Amino acid sequence: MTTTAPAVDRLLDDGSGRRPRADARRNVERLVVAARQAAAEGGEITAHEIARRAGVGIGTFYRRTGSLEALLEAVLGEVLGEIVAEGDEALADPDPWAGFTRFALSYIHLRNELCDVNKRLGNVLDHSRAELRDRIHLLVERAQQAGAMRTDVTWEDVAFLMVAASSTGSHTLGLQAGAGQWDRNLQVVLDGLRTPGPGILPGEPPTLVP
């Protein structure tokens, strides 16, 4: 379950050590949620759009965040932290394949959100990419050593495959993506990586647009 606490706390920290008012915290929580929703949906990421989604005025937006960039930097750090934490939890799973698949599912759902925010900020992820690469590398290596993943692919291959699974738009060739399309795509990728035996496809197949 996603939590907005890290981003909210960062935005509310004015260095005074004083506890913010309850209404101030609620407004910042709404703004963080709205920013993340806009990024996850591929929507417009502007101060006015985020304020509209949060149900607050533009004056409240700037009073509580300082700037759009400050809000997005806090959100970026939060999403990055969630992905890295998912990687750490996956590495602690006694079943290497179960840990990898859980991380992969979380990653594809958070990645688009991460990339949209990062793009709006001007690509500031360089210092954090190493952490993400490290988690993927370790998870793939662990699954391969356990005999659960084919060994003729590299962790770099896997990174690209997860991106491919999460890059599907909602339409192609006159077809509408089915429910859980990203999850279905990922399951096909996982079946191609796993040794042996495919899993059960989640969600629903695409349908022809009328």
Other CB atoms closer than 10 Å to residue 182's CB: what's the count?
19
Length of the chain: 210
pLDDT score for 17: 65
pLDDT at 30: 93
Comparison of pLDDT for 66 and 1, the residue scoring more: 66
Question: Which pTM was predicted?
Answer: 0.75
pLDDT in tens, 78-126: 888 888 899 999 999 999 999 999 999 998 888 777 776 777 676 555 5
Which long-range CB contacts under 8 A does 55-60 form with residues at least 24 apart? 55/30, 56/27, 56/30, 56/31, 60/27
Q: Inter-axis angle of helices 181-193 and 96-121, to 10 degrees?
A: 130
Q: How far apart are CA 38 and CA 48, in angstroms?
A: 12
- Phi, psi dihedral angles at 207 (to 5 degrees): -130, 155
User: Is 78:86 a contact under the CB 8 Å cutoff?
Assistant: no
- pLDDT band for position 2 (cuts 50, 70, 90): very low
In a 10 Å sphere around its CB, with 0-12 CB exposed, 13-18 middle and 19+ buried, how is residue 112 labelled? middle
Q: By three-state DSSP, how is residue 199 classified? A: coil
CA pair distance 152, 174, nearest whole angstrom: 36
Averaged over 188-205, what is the pLDDT?
81
Listed residue (139, 131, 182) closest to 158, CA to CA? 139
**Domains along the chain with CATH numbers:** 5-69 (no CATH), 70-208 (1.10.357.10)
